[in-house]
Amino acid sequence: MSRSSSPELASSGRQRSAGSYAAGRLALALQRIVALHPDVLADQDPEPLHQLRVAMRRLRTVLMQFERALVLPEAVSDERIARVARRLGVARDLDVLRDQLDNVYLPQLSASERELLKPIRKRLRRDRRLAFDDMEYQLKRGRYLALLAALQGWLRQPRLTPLGQEPVHDWLVEWSGPCLSGLMTHPGWWAADLHQDATVLHDLRKRVKGARYGLDNLAPLLAGAPTGWVERLKSVQSCLGDLQDVQVLRAALAQQLDHPLAELVPGLANELQRREGLSWGRWRLLAQEALDPSERGNLNRILSRG
């Protein structure tokens, strides 16, 4: 048997092949990426940049999840996608910092504290402009455009491995493996100290994102059965993101201030601590729920039913 073939030859006539299904998921992600480019480059609203970052993550998840089903051109590599994703991430993280500071915290501060923060806000705007210039350069580079063109060309005539020719329903557990393997044994679920365990919690958040997008990819095959777990992972991701946002903002302020935050801007320091405490309490509840044996068993049963 040859190493690859067209999806038409791979189809059983009764079930869709794994490779054909993966190609459909790739097409959805790619369409979203291409559609968002004009608004991202116009830079009139931060939301398209956020959505492009999400679409790039979804593209990477499909490629990682189904890589053994697909024969992709050399121009399509995780390294190239990751390079652009990092530039998107820098600009997006600065958008989040500015939004948090301007719209969440500043309205609660005294006039004197707001005045103290003016130079920092100006510096964040400058950093955002520089990050956007770097991101724009990446989005217009030949290598990135070649990657998109290669994917579009491949989708017109996908090539599959022998595994990719197998019926997708017969391998559901295996297709969930790349995203879910080791997720529930990650040490971040048992983190006891927010600051000492910050690195492991950040890593868990990245793993949760991949698992969420991976389950999303399988949901159409399971009549939406993983929806509950997708929503749970979304809540976990959001809560860990809230914790990280506080830590990143606190660190960014500490780099710019000559004295401790609590001395110069006590109102902001107190509000950061209050929000951090609320998010930490919520996180511990979410972790406890996710680790419940019956909930984990339910997820395994959903995947094995496919």
CA 155, 160, 165, 170 torsion: positive or negative? negative
pLDDT(285) > 80: yes
Give pLDDT, residue 61.
95
Give pLDDT, residue 226.
82
pLDDT in tens, 58-117: 999 999 999 999 999 999 988 889 989 999 999 999 999 999 999 999 999 999 999 999
Give pLDDT, residue 13.
36
* Residue that wins the pLDDT comparison between 152 and 255: 152
Quickly count: other Cβ atoms within 10 Å of residue 211's Cβ. 26
- Three-state SS at 267: helix
CA 67/CA 298 separation, integer angstroms: 27
pLDDT in tens, 7-28: 433 333 347 999 999 999 999 9
pTM tops 0.85: yes
Which CATH class name applies to 1-166?
A: mainly alpha
The strand pairing partners of 5, in sequence order, are 160
Give pLDDT, residue 14.
47
Residues of the chain with CATH 1.40.20.10: 1-166
What CATH number should be reported for the domain whose range is 168-306? 1.20.120
Q: 17, 70 in Cβ contact below 8 A?
A: no
Burial pattern 174-209, b for ≥16 Cβ within 10 A else e, equals: ebbebbbeebeebebbebeebeeeeeebeebbebbb
Q: How many CA atoms lie within 13 A of 139 on its CB side?
A: 23
The strand pairing partners of 183, in sequence order, are none
pLDDT in tens, 180-199: 889 999 999 999 999 999 99
Give pLDDT, residue 305.
58
Residue labelled with tokens 């609660």: 108
Confidence of residue 43 (pLDDT cuts 50, 70, 90): very high
- On the 0-12 / 13-18 / 19+ scale of CB atoms within 10 A, 287 is middle
Give pLDDT, residue 4.
42
Task: Pull the structure tokens for residue 107.
Answer: 């309205």
Lowest mean pLDDT among 29-43, 169-183, 199-213: 169-183
* Residue that wins the pLDDT comparison between 97 and 259: 97
Task: Pull the structure tokens for residue 7.
Answer: 């999806």
The percentage of the chain sitting over the pLDDT mark of 70, rounded to a whole number, equals 94
Residue labelled with tokens 């504290």: 113
**Mean pLDDT across 121-133:** 95
Residues of the chain with CATH 1.20.120: 168-306
Lowest mean pLDDT among 224-228, 258-262, 267-271: 224-228
Which one, of 47, 297, 8, lies nearest residue 164 by Cα? 8
Give pLDDT, residue 167.
95
Give pLDDT, residue 280.
97
Average pLDDT along the chain: 90
Q: 40, 48 in Cβ contact below 8 A?
A: yes
Give pLDDT, residue 255.
87
Q: 97, 255 in Cβ contact below 8 A?
A: no
Lowest mean pLDDT among 127-141, 247-261, 276-290: 247-261
